[in-house]
Structures are given as C-alpha cells and as structure tokens.
Amino acid sequence: MQTFVLLNLYKETGRHFMVSAAYYLTVADLKNAGVAVNRDAAIVPVVMYQTFISLVFRLEVGNYDDPRVALATYLLQGALEIVLRLTAPERDAWVKRVSRRFCCGTRERRGTTLVVTSVAPASQGQPSSALAKSLSGTSSALHRSKTSERIAAADERDAVVKQFRARMILVDMWSEFAGIYIGSLVLFLGQSLPLFYPFRLYRKYPELFDGGNYYGVLAVGTVVQIVIEIITDTVCLVFEARRGLAPLAVWRELPKAALTPIILFALMFATLAGQYRSVLGDSVDQCNHRDVCWCVGDGLLPGGVREGYCLLLYPNSSGVPAA
C-alpha cells in the first residue's frame, strides 16, 4: 500500500509540472522572443514522464507476492485513475491560483497565444476558417513564412484550452497502454536472463534460473491490465465528451509523421529509466569482483532475484558461499 500511495503521489506531482510546462509551450507568446517552437511537440515530455511512471508502477505491483493483492491494486488504480483524470483540470487550476497568490502576488495573467495562418480579423463572434483550423491543430510557431501569432479572445482561449485538454487525454491513454505493453515486453524478454535483468518479480519464479518461463502468468496479467484500462478510458471518455472535449478530432489533426519519431524516442527513454528504477537495489561493490553471493546480507536486495539465486546455490549457508 505504501508503494501504491507513493507512486500516485509522484505521478500526480510530476504530471502537474509536466502538463503546466506543456501548456506554456502550447500557448506562450514566443514570437517576440524570436523562439521557434514546435507546439505539437509540447506533449512529448508529458508522454515520457507518464509512461515512465506507468511502467514503474506495473513493475512494482508485479512484485507483490499475492496475485490477489496485485489484482486488487490494479482495480483500485483504475478507479483512482478515473477520479484523478476527471478532476485534473480543476486541480491544476486550483494549484495555479494558489501559486499565483503566494508566489506572484496580483500579477496579471498572461494571454493565450494563437498560431494563425492569416492575420485577417475573425468575423464578429466567430473565428475565421483559418483560425478554426489553427484551433483544431496548433502548428509549429514559426515554421511557415505565412504563420503569425496573436493573443486570443476569451472564446478562442476556451477553444484552445479544450484542445489542450483533449491532447492530455490522448497522452494519458497512450502512456497507460505503453506502460502495460512495454512492461510486459520487458518482463517477457528479460526472463531468459533473470540475473542480468533482476526484476524483483522474477524472484517468485525460481524455475527461471533453470531456463524455465512464466509466459502464461505474464499473458494473463497483461490481459487483465488491458481490460481494466479499456474500462477506465471508456468511463472517462463518456464524461469528458459531456464537457465538450473531442480527443478523436484532435488525434486526426496531429502531425503523426513528425511526432512519431520523437514520441518513440521518449518511450525509449522512459523504458530505460523505468528498467533502471525497477532493477535498482543490489549493490555488489563489497563483493570485490568475486562471487556475487558474497554480498548476501550486505549489498543484495533482501528477497531479490540475486539473493534468491544464492539461496538456491548455497542453501546450507544462507546463500553465502562456503569459505
């Protein structure tokens, strides 16, 4: 339970900062500063962070000894994700108000910048077709000669905010499914070398040390997580649609060819970071390049894969090699 609480605390705290940064890059007035920013790519750091947390969470929960506890944790996480996702805009707005009150005094809020393909004014009460296009898919800030920026009106700002929230919905769904698929793939591939990739989950399957596998258990766990995530996303999308959010329309407008390489790079970074966090725990500095089992009791993670392997090798001396 402590792991569950801490990971969700880290997730929501980091998510707020990442989403705030992405929103700034999406709407900030950067033209006068002479900065060219691909505003579509602002979602990439959020993808990277949330995938990392999703991956770490699943590798940590997979370490639970009782599969019933792991299942209950996945169900609880699904229910909590619904609450957190549907209340995210209100929580982010509250944090901004509090931060502005205590850190920034009464400083005037910055305007939202629109990237438009024409500087022609919009018709009264309605944005022009060029502006509507820019709202449905905000493009790179200065990448076309005909592109310009201007401060949005109130109704236009609401449209930009809805578009950004729809993008964050997509990011959240991508990240959760990426965490499930990548986590399962990492465990699938690593089980052939359990001492090289000592994920704590492997300690429950000593047959891996003899070349065995646990494909069936891994497949069932993956399917259960996918089903829970589909139910969670479906419930959230129903309520989000009532708020006027349209992630499917935003998905159609995203420049997939340009974003795919950098999102794949972000997923790779998140995967490596998640693996490092999950295998962290063993310290073999005191082994002096000898048998790793010399570090049992003083360096190896208690209950970890390598300690379990040493206990199998040296059962009569509590895992430590005979002198």
Note the pLDDT tens digit of each residue in 38-69.
788 889 999 999 999 999 888 888 778 788 88
Query: Is the pLDDT higher at 5 or at 106?
Result: 5
Residue with tokens 């007035």: 29
| Radius of gyration for the alpha carbons in the chain, expressed in angstroms and rounded | 24
pLDDT of amino acid 236: 94
Rounded Cα distance between 37 and 51, Å, is: 23
Q: How many CB atoms lie within 10 A of CB 311?
A: 18
Largest CA distance in the chain: 88
115: helix, strand or coil: strand
pLDDT of amino acid 117: 40
215: helix, strand or coil: helix
Instruction: Evaluate whether 258 touches 44 at the Cβ level (below 8 Å).
Output: no
Instruction: Evaluate whether 92 touches 19 at the Cβ level (below 8 Å).
Output: yes
Query: Is the pLDDT higher at 102 or at 90?
Result: 90
Residue 193 backbone phi and psi in degrees, to 5: -135, 65
pLDDT of amino acid 27: 79
pLDDT band, residue 206 (cuts 50/70/90): confident
The mean pLDDT of the chain is 80
First to last CA, the chain: 40
Query: Is the pLDDT higher at 223 or at 295?
Result: 223
Rounded Cα distance between 140 and 36, Å, is: 8
HSE of 38, CA atoms in CB hemisphere, 13 A? 10
Note the pLDDT tens digit of each residue in 11-39.
888 888 999 889 888 877 766 666 666 78
Query: Is the pLDDT higher at 278 or at 123?
Result: 278
Compute the average pLDDT of residues 145-170: 74
pLDDT of amino acid 143: 41
pLDDT of amino acid 109: 56
Provide the token pair at 279: 């295998």
Residue with tokens 């709202």: 135
17: helix, strand or coil: helix
Query: Which of 74-88, 90-104, 294-308, 309-323 reaches the highest mean pLDDT?
Result: 74-88
Rounded Cα distance between 135 and 170, Å, is: 17
pLDDT higher than threshold 70 for residue 289 = no
Task: Calculate what percentage of the chain has a pLDDT beyond 70.
Answer: 79
pLDDT of amino acid 131: 39
Note the pLDDT tens digit of each residue in 209-245.
888 888 998 999 999 999 999 999 999 999 999 988 8
The C-alpha angle 225, 229, 232, rounded to 5 degrees, equals 140
Compute the average pLDDT of residues 128-145: 41
CA distances from 141 to 42, 119, 232, 307, 316 (A): 12, 14, 35, 54, 68
pLDDT higher than threshold 60 for residue 142 = no
